[in-house]
Structures are given as C-alpha cells and as structure tokens.
C-alpha cells in the first residue's frame, strides 16, 4: 500500500481541493445583427433577434 513520504502542508492540500470548484465562463458570442456580445443559443437582449429572425420587438 502506498504511504506518503512527507506531510502535505495545509496550503498544498487546500490548493488541490479548491481547483475543482472554479466557475467556467459562459459561452459568449457576437450577435450577427447588432454586434453586441450575447450568450450562445439565446436571443440577443439588445436587438431581440435569434437565429436570423426577430423574436422580440425592441424599440430602436
């Protein structure tokens, strides 16, 4: 059975445990209609377009 050769410090232990809890960035893409950054596969909040057509009427 494998046995640790040295004591693992608290900092090293916590660094190893903490690495799995990082948040990932959401997939942001440029809206082809207005050029604003938006979430992928979702309607653009700025212009109201999704997949080349207007789904929500927005005032310009």
Q: What is the residue-level pLDDT of the chain in tens, covering all 60 positions? A: 899 999 999 999 999 998 888 778 889 999 999 999 999 999 999 999 999 899 988 775
Return the closest-CA partner of residue 40 out of 51, 55, 24: 51
Q: Dihedral sign for Cα 12, 17, 20, 24, please.
A: negative
Give CA–CA dist 27/12, Å, rounded. 31
Q: For the segment 18-35, what is each residue's pLDDT rounded down to a tens digit?
A: 888 877 888 999 999 999
pLDDT, residue 60, reads 57
């Amino acid at each position: 059975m494998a046995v640790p050769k040295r004591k693992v410090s608290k900092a090293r232990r916590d660094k190893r445990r903490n690495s799995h809890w990082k948040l990932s960035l959401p997939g942001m893409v440029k809206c082809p209609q207005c050029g604003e950054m938006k979430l992928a596969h979702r309607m653009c909040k700025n212009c109201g377009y999704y997949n080349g057509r207007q789904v929500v009427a927005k005032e310009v």
